Structure 1
Amino acid sequence: MKVLAAMSGGVDSAVAAARAAEAGHEVVGVHMALSKNRDQRRTGSRGCCTVEDASDARRAADRIGIPYYVWDLSDDFHDLVVEDFLSEYAAGRTPNPCVRCNERIKFASLMERATLLGFDAVCTGHYASIRTDGPSGTPSLHRSRNMAKDQSYVLAVMGPEAVGRSLFPLGEYETKDEVREEARKRGLGVSTKPDSYDICFVADGDTRGFLERNLGADPGEILDDSGAVIGTHRGTHGFTIGQRKGLGIQQPAADGAPRYVVDIDPSSRQVVVGAAELLSTRELIATDVVSFEPLSAGREVHAQIRAHGEATPARILEVPAASAEASEPSADASESSAATADPAPSPSLRVGLDTPIRGVAPGQTLVLYDGDRVIAAATLERRA
């Protein structure tokens, strides 16, 4: 099989490429240059697509014995990931740029180019597994055995077609130390290279500063949940639902309890803060559903809303018409649909949680699991 191996310059992608070559595939390595600043340097574990990263990827490819190229995808990355990040924050939403990068760059732009060049699959160093033990017998996306590094959440938006044309050789490793040891045994110089973290295009880690530099200051008011003005801010883009620190409030709550961001309204430039209880919800509403298999109301699942958060036991309450199974709805679905008089099918996915969770923000990604298998991903619109 002809395989295009995405090589970031880190240890994970280097070992993945080596494993693919060892398996007998015809492997070509490619480094995606995503930063418009070609002279950018790494700062510890921060930064992406730096000069050092490209050089490390080239050395790894040479060691493995595979051809290596650098592809300039900086325009795609800026337009599809960075601009999306800025526009979502400007709209009072909380995006996950890693989800967008995987969806639009690594498994859209990259795979499109790979297809045009005649490659059969794309190989990456993500921690996830692809198996064929689902109900349909087709390739399905599963959690990695290394739960501390599991990336199935950020990969879920890629959809079943891309899964069928992907290789994730690291999914069966139980620890990162095992991956580093394999890199060392193979003579890959990146075996001790530190992991990257945070938002890769915010190299200094100052997300609020990055947003203000790009979106500008847009002062407004901070209100408590009674509507009283208790402070001011420089822009709603500096806040996310559930945020506790950095609110800039000098006036304490009457009961002395911590206050959290519970609502953001960019149109009025108002940020509302309140008690933690106001953040709790037991129902999620999402759109832009990507299904790996048919969904049905009443089905028990686990729901996850953060890349490294815990999955919560839940039940699907309502599904978009295109995602529904052909079978008759369950009793639970009938009860929920009876509560609305509108006969038109809903474009939304509604999920009820067994226990309430806090900090649900529009723009976050909702991923549904059946055991360790991904069954759907969607974009959260609001909490009910």
Structure 2
Amino acid sequence: MRVLAAMSGGVDSAVAAARAVEAGHEVTGVHLALSRNPQSFRTGARGCCTAEDARDARRAADVIGIPFYIWDLAERFHADVVDDFVSEYAAGRTPNPCLRCNEKIKFEAVLDKALALGFDAVCTGHYARIVDRPGPDGGSGAGDDGVLIRELHRAVDPAKDQSYVLGVLDAGQLAHAIFPLGGSTKTSVRAEAERRGLAVADKPDSHDVCFIADGDTRRFLAERLGAESGPIVDSSGKVVGSHSGAYAFTVGQRKGLRIGDPAGDGRPRYVLDISPVNNIVTVGTADELVVAELEGDHLRWCGAQPDVVSGTEGAKGTAESAVEFECLAQLRAHGEPFAAVARYDASRGTVTVRLIEPARGIAPGQTAVFYDGTRVIGSATITATRRPVAAQAA
């Protein structure tokens, strides 16, 4: 196959490209220039997309022996990821820019361009596995066309698993994706890079939000949204403090509230709700963060739709308008999955997720990714949360 390897300048994408070559593919490396004004050097392990990263990617491509190009996607990245990040915070939600980048940049803008240029697939250094399995007829394919069912699964190394941030990929995108590192550990990848003579073998990983190099999200948002003071209130409506911008908070946050007094019983307080309309931040106890049910939209099936536990017919009795399925719901990039029952209402375009055991501190704007064992079923953006009935009545 003709494969386009996205090379960030880090060790993972370099080894992934090398493995794609070793697998017999015709590989071309590409570095995505995503910053409008890239810095010359990285700040420690934070951020990416610097001039140094581009040079590291080019050197790795030279060692591997593949053609290399730089694609300028800064404007598209700014519109689809950075502007989205800012507007979500302004609306009182907590977005995950890594998922948006995978959906809109790496597996939409890049994949579309790659296919138009005659490439068959895009290869990245994500830690996740793709499994092709026979169709339900027991033969070699799904249905009559002989096409295998492609599934996205967790990586072998749970500490590095990145299937959560890939849960936004749909079946069409998954069909043209290659993840060579899904069966490896980070330690083995670094050792392999050393053996291959790749200078990035010991390069630190980037972390946090890649386009906020110093990690100061509050400052980044303040520069774009400005300061607007408002009250911090407890769940009874009593004013307990003030803030200079509701966007600087996220549900579940404990530190940085600048509240002089603890709750009446002496327990620490956490952010319960952010209301951008009236610029109010509501705080309360940890018990008030408990969530029993979620609602979401922007549902994307990652491969085949799951087996239906129960369903209802459409208004004319000709099509299924709602499906219900058991799953494990992961609500944060590095969080533990929760056993759940999800119900997707196609007529409304929403999904309701009932958690078997309640979670804490789940914010609108975050992404719920649904699993069947290690397989990713799909994902949805959380739009609302509901507390247990007993807690609401208290």
TM-score (norm. length: structure 2): 0.89
Find out whether 1:171 has 2:171 as its counterpart. no
What amino acid is aligned across from residue 33 of structure 1 in structure 2?
A
Instruction: Indicate the residue corresponding to 1:242 in structure 2.
Output: 252
Instruction: Indicate the residue corresponding to 2:154 in structure 1.
Output: 143
Aligned partner of residue 273 in structure 1, secondary structure: strand
CA distance in 2, matches of 1:46, 1:153: 21
Q: Which of 190, 202, 207 in structure 2 is aligned with 1:192?
A: 202
The unaligned stretches of length 5 or more in structure 2 are: 137-141, 143-147, 309-322, 387-394
Q: 182-191 vs 345-354, which deviates more?
A: 345-354
What amino acid is aligned across from residue 68 of structure 1 in structure 2?
F
Q: Which of 348, 362, 365 in structure 2 is aligned with 1:363?
A: 365
Could you tell me how far 1:298 is from its partner in structure 2?
A: 4.4
CA distance in 1, matches of 2:325, 2:257: 40
Matches within 5 A, 1:20-59: 20-59=20-59
CA distance in 2, matches of 1:208, 1:140: 38
Could you tell me how far 1:250 is from its partner in structure 2?
A: 1.1
Matches within 5 A, 1:291-310: 291=301, 292-295=303-306, 296=308, 297-310=323-336
What amino acid is aligned across from residue 24 of structure 1 in structure 2?
G
CA distance in 2, matches of 1:216, 1:253: 30
CA deviations on 1:62-113 (whole Å, 9 max, x unpaired) are: 0000000011010011111000000000000000010111111111110011
Could you tell me how far 1:348 is from its partner in structure 2?
A: 1.1
Instruction: Indicate the residue corresponding to 2:8 in structure 1.
Output: 8
CA distance in 2, matches of 1:13, 1:294: 30
Could you tell me how far 1:376 is from its partner in structure 2?
A: 1.1
CA contact 1:32–1:73 (8 Å) conserved in 2: yes
CA contact 1:81–1:100 (8 Å) conserved in 2: yes
Could you tell me how far 1:299 is from its partner in structure 2?
A: 2.4
Matches within 5 A, 1:1-384: 1-133=1-133, 137-173=148-184, 175-291=185-301, 292-295=303-306, 296=308, 297-316=323-342, 318-321=343-346, 345-384=347-386
CA distance in 2, matches of 1:310, 1:260: 20
Aligned partner of residue 184 in structure 1, secondary structure: helix
Aligned partner of residue 126 in structure 1, secondary structure: coil
The unaligned stretches of length 5 or more in structure 1 are: 322-344
Greater percentage in helix: 1
CA contact 1:41–1:47 (8 Å) conserved in 2: no
Aligned partner of residue 241 in structure 2, secondary structure: strand
CA deviations on 1:173-229 (whole Å, 9 max, x unpaired) are: 1x2110001111111111111111111111011111111111110111000111011
What amino acid is aligned across from residue 286 of structure 1 in structure 2?
G
Pairs aligned (count): 359
Greater percentage in strand: 2
Over the aligned positions, Cα root-mean-square deviation in angstroms equals 1.1
CA distance in 1, matches of 2:202, 2:305: 43
What amino acid is aligned across from residue 76 of structure 2 in structure 1?
D
Could you tell me how far 1:354 is from its partner in structure 2?
A: 1.1
Aligned partner of residue 71 in structure 1, secondary structure: strand
CA deviations on 1:117-146 (whole Å, 9 max, x unpaired) are: 110000000000000137554111110001
CA contact 1:94–1:240 (8 Å) conserved in 2: yes
CA deviations on 1:148-172 (whole Å, 9 max, x unpaired) are: 1111000010211111101000001
CA contact 1:293–1:376 (8 Å) conserved in 2: no
CA distance in 2, matches of 1:305, 1:40: 35
Could you tell me how far 1:40 is from its partner in structure 2?
A: 3.8
Could you tell me how far 1:311 is from its partner in structure 2?
A: 0.6
Q: 36-45 vs 157-166, which deviates more?
A: 36-45
CA distance in 2, matches of 1:131, 1:247: 45
What amino acid is aligned across from residue 111 of structure 1 in structure 2?
L
What amino acid is aligned across from residue 160 of structure 1 in structure 2?
A
Could you tell me how far 1:346 is from its partner in structure 2?
A: 3.2
CA distance in 1, matches of 2:305, 2:29: 35
CA contact 2:11–2:201 (8 Å) conserved in 1: yes
Aligned partner of residue 44 in structure 1, secondary structure: coil
CA contact 2:324–2:344 (8 Å) conserved in 1: no
Could you tell me the percent identity over the aligned residues? 58
CA distance in 1, matches of 2:172, 2:368: 19
TM-score (norm. length: structure 1): 0.92
CA contact 2:149–2:304 (8 Å) conserved in 1: no
